[in-house]
Chains A and B, each alone.
Chain A
Amino acid sequence: MNRALLLAALALALALPSGAVAKERPLALYRDARFEILQTADSAEVSPEELCAELKKANPDLGRPRCAVAGSLRRNVPFNDYALWVAANLRPGVRAEDLEARRPEVRKTLEERRDDYLFLFKSDGKESWLVLFHDGERIPARLLRVRGESAFGEVAPLFQGPTSPIPTEQEREAARREPEAFYRDQLPLDFRLTVGSGYIQGFGGHESAQVEHYTQNRDSASAWDWITDSSPLVFAEYGVEYARFLGIAAVLQWSRYDMKFNPETNPAIRDWTVDRWEFGARARIGYGFVPRPKVEIHPYLLLGFLYTVYDAEISWKKGVKKPFDSPFSLVAVSGGSLALGADLLLKDRYGAKLECGLSRRARKSRTDPEVGPLPDRPAEATLELYALFGLSLNWRRWL
């Protein structure tokens, strides 16, 4: 059920950008900016000193705000007409778009005052309004209506957050010409360290197979006749991915299996386990989806090479004669894997990986069969399905 919820949440997260709701643009907060209060016949009394004190209290990052009554705007006849018109039109139900400045002269004035914050407060005793113009916009950046005698209390919440210095003309121009982040930074090189765990399920072994007398096994073609055919695994992977497209990685993984031995014919053995260490190199080809800024999904197809080492470990029973000192030393085989997976990457830094694959290991031929009193080494061929989940850290370089 949890998995289902997770999947649904993922589907929703992917779906939301398409049905996105129009959101208010965030208000750019400038340090040492100028705040002016437009006064009309029916506007509420707010003094510049009061406003500045409130702003400083709300956000010390605003630096030294300068507050004033917008006297020059009051002498600007078209703009004053516009301010009067806005004040008269503040009625329940009015939208900010319907208060658009339509006159070219008024638009020009607003553009000239783009760095300033122009406030209009109005109150009729029961309802109060706050209108804020900023960034040269033709429509009010904020239009707030509150019950009560004054909307002055709404000022402080608007000015929370990080501030920046007022941009110069060159900075504005540079920002305007700057391409979108995704297109500007076309070719990322990602170095990624992933650590995680997973599960292996082998195929092709016989359920009833057992190791008799340390050496003999009815069917030794598959390693799953010697060892249990499923195990959790732990892995660590470090790799580099170019342009969200091609990647290579080195992987180390470890899993542990119980030997399927017959305790009656192996009386000296209490416990017999095999560690499987694998060193691998893998190459992947994939695609980078960017469903929303700072969220990337990289599905991929992977081909891996594995070098596998089995190391057996026995704990003996006390007082029973050991038939041999060590069952077998390191046995090495090689193999390959084919897998499909996806990396999720957040903010270019944090990630998660999900991968499912098929791998097979075998030695080409047994040219040196070991004979004698020591146990034969286990059979080597394995065929298995595996699934991995890992968390990763990513370091991105731009090429």
Chain B
Amino acid sequence: MGTRALRILLAALALALSGCAEKAARLHRANDAFPDSPAGTIAFTSLGPGDFILDGRDLFVEDLKIYSEDVHPALAARVDSLLGKWAEENLGAKVRLPSADSLGLPESEKRRVEGRVFVPVRWPWPGDSLRSGETVPDVVLLVGELTLGFDLQARSLYDYELANTYTEPGEKPETLSALLVWTLWDNRLQQYRAYGVAQASAPLVRPLSFGAIDALCKRLFLDVQRQSRLYPEIEP
């Protein structure tokens, strides 16, 4: 058997191994049926208290000097107002819809983004258009769960192989981070245009300030913008 045969065998082996190798999965999916940028009225849903998840509450309580029972609603309201401001300023979204809970959207479903990454989404039923009074927006940014905490990784939360593994918490958190599950929803066809999970993190500076949280959220929303290809000229 010559070296050529050996080479062919090795190539076949490499092929076999690459089949098993993990592909780096992206954290967002675009619908190929909607290649164009969204046009028309853009709306966005609010972040309800049920959609906001705070991780490492004690540190927020300690640094922000808020009562323990107030920290969740206070931060949820703050992030929601930041979201509203960003959507109005950067997306030109005129219509603000209530949160998914208030809209009575169906229970959350797990949708595959890519590979083993699944995100929980709450999408309206096919055939049901979201409306605000008389207006029926063409495109809606559906805001899903937003997680604010320390050292968060989208993959370790939404990749089903990693999601339920226990990792020893570090001595000290190193970054302040946030994740947001979002969907760009075509309200006319009741179909997603894109969905995914955006993430942002920044080195943690103690004591934590509201300013740092605001800056982080801004970067998080810009990541949504980047992933959804909404106005790609805006660089995060």
Which single residue of chain A is at the shortest CB-CB distance from B3?
A: A4
Task: Check B8–A93 contact: CB distance below 8 A.
Answer: no
Q: Is B127 interfacial (CB 8 A cutoff)?
A: yes
Q: Is A266 interfacial (CB 8 A cutoff)?
A: no
Task: Check A102–B5 contact: CB distance below 8 A.
Answer: no
- Most A Cβ at <10 Å: residue of B19, B33, B126, B192: B126
For window 1-59 of chain A, which residues contact chain B by CB distance below 8 Å?
1, 3-5, 7-8, 11-12, 14-15, 18-20
Task: Check A85–B126 contact: CB distance below 8 A.
Answer: yes
Q: Is B64 interfacial (CB 8 A cutoff)?
A: no
Which single residue of chain B is at the shortest CB-CB distance from A12?
A: B12
Task: Check B13–A15 contact: CB distance below 8 A.
Answer: yes
In the bound complex, CA of A88 to CA of B126 (Å): 11
Given contacts A82-B126, A84-B127, A103-B125, contact A98 B1 (CB under 8 A): no
Given contacts A4-B1, A102-B123, A102-B125, contact A18 B109 (CB under 8 A): no
Q: Is B25 interfacial (CB 8 A cutoff)?
A: no
Q: Is B32 interfacial (CB 8 A cutoff)?
A: yes
Task: Check B8–A5 contact: CB distance below 8 A.
Answer: yes
> B123: which A residues are within 8 A, CB to CB?
102
In the bound complex, CA of A85 to CA of B19 (Å): 37
Q: Is A81 interfacial (CB 8 A cutoff)?
A: yes
> A85: which B residues are within 8 A, CB to CB?
126-127, 189-190
The residue that A19 contacts in the complex, of B8, B9, B16, B189, with Cβ under 8 A, is B16
The residue that A8 contacts in the complex, of B8, B35, B190, B191, with Cβ under 8 A, is B8
> A3: which B residues are within 8 A, CB to CB?
1, 5
Task: Check A4–B33 contact: CB distance below 8 A.
Answer: no
In whole Å, how far is B150's beta carbon from the nearest beta carbon of chain A?
35
The residue that A102 contacts in the complex, of B2, B4, B16, B126, with Cβ under 8 A, is B126
Q: Is A92 interfacial (CB 8 A cutoff)?
A: yes
The residue that B18 contacts in the complex, of A5, A12, A19, A20, with Cβ under 8 A, is A19
For window 17-36 of chain B, which residues contact chain A by CB distance below 8 Å?
18-20, 31-35
Task: Check B15–A93 contact: CB distance below 8 A.
Answer: no
> A92: which B residues are within 8 A, CB to CB?
33
> A172: which B residues are within 8 A, CB to CB?
none
> A103: which B residues are within 8 A, CB to CB?
125-126
Q: Is B56 interfacial (CB 8 A cutoff)?
A: no
Q: Is B106 interfacial (CB 8 A cutoff)?
A: yes
- Most B Cβ at <10 Å: residue of A8, A19, A84: A8
Task: Check B33–A7 contact: CB distance below 8 A.
Answer: no
In the bound complex, CA of A144 to CA of B127 (Å): 23
Given contacts A1-B4, A3-B1, A103-B126, contact A11 B33 (CB under 8 A): no
Task: Check A8–B9 contact: CB distance below 8 A.
Answer: yes
The residue that A1 contacts in the complex, of B2, B20, B192, with Cβ under 8 A, is B2
> A12: which B residues are within 8 A, CB to CB?
12, 15
In whole Å, how far is A97's beta carbon from the nearest beta carbon of chain B?
8
Task: Check B20–A98 contact: CB distance below 8 A.
Answer: no
In the bound complex, CA of A14 to CA of B5 (Å): 17
Q: Number of residues in A with C-beta < 8 Å to the partner?
A: 27
> A14: which B residues are within 8 A, CB to CB?
16
The residue that B5 contacts in the complex, of A4, A15, A18, A84, with Cβ under 8 A, is A4
Q: Is A89 interfacial (CB 8 A cutoff)?
A: yes
Interface flags for B35-72 (1: CB within 8 Å of A; 0: not) read 10000000000000000000000000000000000000
Task: Check A7–B9 contact: CB distance below 8 A.
Answer: yes
In whole Å, how far is A100's beta carbon from the nearest beta carbon of chain B?
9
The residue that B19 contacts in the complex, of A15, A84, A91, with Cβ under 8 A, is A15
The residue that A98 contacts in the complex, of B12, B13, B125, B192, with Cβ under 8 A, is B192
Task: Check B189–A88 contact: CB distance below 8 A.
Answer: yes
Which single residue of chain A is at the shortest CB-CB distance from B1?
A: A4
In the bound complex, CA of A82 to CA of B4 (Å): 57
> B190: which A residues are within 8 A, CB to CB?
85
Q: Is A295 interfacial (CB 8 A cutoff)?
A: no
For window 148-162 of chain A, which residues contact chain B by CB distance below 8 Å?
none
Q: Is A330 interfacial (CB 8 A cutoff)?
A: no
- Most B Cβ at <10 Å: residue of A5, A14, A94: A94
Which single residue of chain A is at the shortest CB-CB distance from B19?
A: A19
In the bound complex, CA of A81 to CA of B124 (Å): 13
In the bound complex, CA of A310 to CA of B192 (Å): 82
Q: Is A95 interfacial (CB 8 A cutoff)?
A: yes
> B109: which A residues are within 8 A, CB to CB?
102
Task: Check B19–A18 contact: CB distance below 8 A.
Answer: yes
Task: Check B20–A19 contact: CB distance below 8 A.
Answer: yes
In the bound complex, CA of A3 to CA of B6 (Å): 11
Which single residue of chain A is at the shortest CB-CB distance from B35?
A: A93
Interface flags for B85-114 (1: CB within 8 Å of A; 0: not) read 000000000000000000000100100000
In the bound complex, CA of A3 to CA of B4 (Å): 11
In whole Å, how far is B103's beta carbon from the nearest beta carbon of chain A?
16
> A4: which B residues are within 8 A, CB to CB?
1-2, 4-5, 8-9
Some 11 contacts from A to B, beta carbons below 8 A apart, are A4-B4, A8-B11, A11-B16, A12-B15, A15-B12, A18-B19, A81-B126, A89-B191, A94-B32, A95-B33, A102-B123
Interface pairs A-B: 3 shortest CB-CB: A19-B19, A4-B5, A15-B16
Chain B interface (Cβ < 8 Å from any Cβ of A): 1-2, 4-5, 8-9, 11-13, 15-16, 18-20, 31-35, 106, 109, 123, 125-127, 189-192
